[in-house]
Structure 1
């Protein structure tokens, strides 16, 4: 049985989705660039950093606020992004290395498994079905379903509540600083996960998190970093 310091007193595992549970962050920069080019918009230097952690709905509102000449409704922006991303999620996204085996082991140990994501709920649900893993999770929630996106703890607290687990007994896996902060603000321990998209922020991730892994096999091998 897998027993490590990281898992002591842990009754539930909560995953962020993009960049943490699945390898999908590569999709969004190209969508942003195509979308901006289509409407002749110019992004700021801090564009992606400013959006970090926001829910899908909040990001759409951020676009409308940042580009006031964009004559579209919130729903039109979100629907267009969905059309641009959907096929890639259904056919090209894969689970992060080692995460499937890790989830199965945690379920064998009786731990609850949840997802707290910033992505749109339809995209989340359909992606989990496409990967044939939807039955592995006890709670799946989007930050679009709570008052505020990450770094607010709202979505993490909702998932913990639905699973009937106190925040201090939850272990969060996250790939970006704002997500890590959301887990910490919820009173949970957080393990940062390596991902190509957020690798330039590795030092910041390590300063905020309790643990750091390159992939989920690090947990079994006990080669993760205790921070």
Structure 2
């Protein structure tokens, strides 16, 4: 298969940031009177920050701050945690270096706000690997809508059929597939055996397991 481009998700795939989002959302939303149950938190896991904030506001409308202010409080908290405690997921550095050496076009498509991308790139020192980045903040809809992937494909000037996407969520896989891109999923460790991830072309336990021979399995 003649691949020449790769697009990565960010949170939970390149950086171990999912616990940061959980901590920030619990702290900020609780401070304005939201009662965060585990079952409802599962529903918000793959949403954009704005979608999450609007979701909780509909259930527990607060008066002391605007929706935008609460959303920004969450992002600020995550940003601080990334800068303080951010660590790459297993295999990230080696895989980026491998694709770079093979002269792949490398892109990023994330539901995270644009300003967090810079913090992750700087913290992990990986910015030099990427030819283009896209945040769902700048497209009409976040994942599972394909818009953020289509944006990155356009910037990379590559065809979807020659690209592969790396994701850690079903919504991300669906976004990539809807854009015509084959998808590799690296599910959270505790959820690896969940059959919902079978929608991906390839499923791995970590990025360390990937090599270009995997593409023949897709």
TM-score by length of 2: 0.90
Aligned pairs for 1:1-227 within 5 A: 8-44=1-37, 46-196=39-189, 199-200=190-191, 202-220=193-211, 226=217
Distance (Å, rounded) in 1 between the aligned partners of 2:21 and 2:95: 26
How far the C-alpha of 1:202 sits from its partner, in A, is 4.0
Structure with greater helix share of residues: 2
Asked whether the equivalents of residues 52 and 178 of structure 1 are also in contact (C-alpha less than 8 Å), the reply is no
Distance 1:169 1:161, change over 3 A: same
Find the aligned partners of 2:125 and 2:197 in 1 and give their Cα distance: 32
TM-score when normalising by structure 1:
0.86
User: For this pair of structures, how many residues does the alignment match?
Assistant: 218
For 1:113 and 1:135, the matched residues in 2 are separated by 10
Which structure 1 residue ranges, 5 or more long, are not aligned?
1-7
Over the residues paired in the alignment, what is the CA RMSD in angstroms?
2.3
Q: How many angstroms apart in 2 are the aligned matches of 1:93 and 1:209?
A: 27
Q: Deviations over 1:64-109 (max 9, x none)?
A: 2332235432320122112322221012111111111111111111
Q: Deviation per CA, 1:28-86: give whole Å up to 9, x if none.
A: 22222222332232235542332243222222222323322354323201221123222
Question: Please, which runs of 5 or more residues in structure 2 have no aligned partner?
Answer: none
